[in-house]
Amino acid sequence: MMNYPAKQYAPLRRPLAHLDALFNRLYTWRYNPLYHSGALVVACFVVLSVTGLYLLLFYRIGSPYASVERIADQAFAGRWIRSLHRYASDLAVVAALVHAFRMGVQNRAWGPRALAWLSGIVLLGVFLICGWTGYVMVWDTQAQLLAQEGARLLDVFPIFSEPIARAFAGDRAIPSAFFFLNLFAHIAIPVGILLILWIHVSRLARTELLPPRPLTWGMVGVLTVLSVAWPAVLGPEADPLRVPQDVALDLFYNFWVPLSAAVPAGVSWLALVAGLVAVGAIPWLTRPAPETVEPSWVDPRFCTGCEQCYHDCPYEAISMVARDDDRPYTVGLVDPDKCVSCGICAGSCAPMGVGPPKRAGRDQLRSVKEFITRHQPSSQDVVLVACSRSAAGWEADDFGGAPVLPVDCVGNVHTSVVEYLVRAGAGGVIVVSCPPRDCWNREGVKWMDARVYDGREAELKDRVDRTRIRVVHAAEAEGRVLAESLALFRSQIGALDRALSERAIELDTTCEQPAVSVAEEVT
C-alpha cells in the first residue's frame, strides 16, 4: 500500500520537519505560517497593491526623490505606509522561497506539477523585476547602484543604439522618461503577476489563495507594528557624478548587486542561466521511478457513475464521460497527464473501481488481510494506519510495539481497511496523518476526516464501532504528539469491553448513484 520512499531527501527534510514541529507548537497546524507560505505571497501581494495605490498618489516622476522624501515626512501615514510596502515586498520573497523549498524537498514538483513549479519560478522572477523597478523609482543611492549595474548587464546585448549605462554617466540629467518607464512597469507588471498566478494554480482544484483570516490579519498587524517602530530608511539622493559609499542594500532584492559588479557581465549572465537551468530541471531530476507513480485508472465494471472521485480529485485529473455500453450513467476517466498517483480517488470509491495500480480498494483489502495474518493483532493492540510522511512513517520509535500499516497518503486509504481491522479483532485503529495544512497530496487528510466523521462517500459504515477509531494529525517530527495520543487511546481501549473478532467479514461496496450526472448537466 506504499510506493514512495518514506525518507526521501531526509537530510533536507529533517531540519524542515523540526521547524514545522516548532511552529505547530507555537501556532497550531491550522495557522502555521510555514504551511501557508504560498498563500502568504498572495496576501503580501494584496498588501502591496493597497499600499502602492496610496504611494502612487504622491509620487512625481519629475522629482522622484523629493516626492518620496515628502512621503517619508508624513508621520501619520506616508512614513509607515511606505515602510509597510517595503516590508511586505521582502516578506513576499521570503515566503516564496520557503514555499519553493518545501515543494522541492517534499518532491512535489515532478510530472503534472511541473507546470506549477516552472510558473512559480517565472512568478518569483517577475516579482523581483517589479521590486527592482520600485527601488529605482525612489532614486536614492541604492537605486543608483541598482540602475547602473542593471544597465551594465543589459549592455551585453546590442539592443539599443547606444549603451544604456551612458545615461547614468552624469554628463546629463536623467530623463523623466526613465522614471516614467519604471513607474509604468511597476504598475503594469502586477497584471502579469495575476496571469502567471492563474497559470500557477490552474491544475489545482479548490485552490485557497489566501491564508486563514487570523493568520492574514496577524501578518498585517506584525508588519504594521514593524513599519511604525522601524520605518524603512531613505538613503541619500542619487548622484551619478559620485560613487556611492556604504550603501545599505535590501537583503532580499539587491544582495546580488555587489556580487555581480565584481565580475564581468558575461559571467553574471552565465551564473543566472546556470541557476535557472538547475532549478528548472528539478521536476525531471526528482521524478520517482515510473513504476512507483503509475496513474489511476477506472474499472468500468465497478463504476456506478456516482462522481465522487471526480469531486474529490485535488488535481482535476478525473472527468465523467459517456459509457460505451447501455448503462444509463457516466463513467470516470482519468487523464494520465494530470494524475500524480496520489490515490485519493481510491479512497473515495465505495465499489472500489478506481485507483492507481496495486493501490485501489481491492488491492488494499488484500494487503490488510495479509497484514492481519502476519501480525495477528489482539483485542488490546492498537494498529497504526500511518502516512509515510507522518510521525509514524518517519520516527525510529516503534511506539510500544504497535503494528504499523504504512500507506502513501491517508486519503488513499479506503475506509473498508479501517473497518476490516476493527472487525478482525484489533483493539483500536489510529489513522496517523500529516497535518491537514501540509498534506503532500493537498486534500488527503481532509477527505479522510470527512469519510470517518462526516459521512462523506465512501464513508466509514455506521456498524463500525467508532470508539475504537481515532484520526491523529502528527507531522514528521511530532513523534511526541503521536506517542501521547497513542497512550491516551490505549487507556481508553483498556476501559472498553473486549474486542470481538469476526471470522467471515463481509464489506458493503455499494454507493448511491447521482440523480443527474455531470455529462447530463453539460448537455
Contact by Cβ (8 Å): 235, 140 = yes
CA pseudo-torsion sign 365, 369, 375, 378 = positive
Nearest to 218 by CA among 43, 50, 96: 43
Q: Is 266 exposed, middle or buried (0-12, 13-18, 19+ CB in 10 A)?
A: exposed
d(CA 388, CA 411): 12
Find where cell 523597478 sits: 133
pLDDT at res. 444: 95
pLDDT at res. 511: 63
The 10 Å CB-count burial string (b at 16+, else e) for 398-436 is ebeebbbbbbbbbbbbbbbbbbbbbbbbbbbbbbbbbbb
Contact by Cβ (8 Å): 177, 111 = no
Residue-wise pLDDT for 35-76, tens only, equals 999 999 999 999 999 999 999 999 999 999 999 999 999 978
Cell of 288: 520517482
3-state SS of 463-511 is: CCCHHHEEEEECCCCCHHHHHHHHHHHHHHHHCCCCCCCCCCCCCCCCC
In the predicted model, residues of the chain with pLDDT beneath 50 are: 4-5, 515-523
Structural domains of the chain, ranges and CATH numbers in brackets: 33-285 (1.20.810.10), 294-494 (3.30.70.20)
d(CA 143, CA 91): 20
End-to-end C-alpha distance for the chain, whole angstroms: 39
pLDDT at res. 369: 94
pLDDT at res. 395: 62
pLDDT at res. 443: 96
**Number of Cβ within a 10 Å radius of residue 105:** 20
Residue-wise pLDDT for 115-169, tens only, equals 999 999 999 999 999 999 999 999 999 999 999 999 999 999 988 778 888 888 7
**Could you give the 3-state DSSP secondary structure of residue 321?**
strand
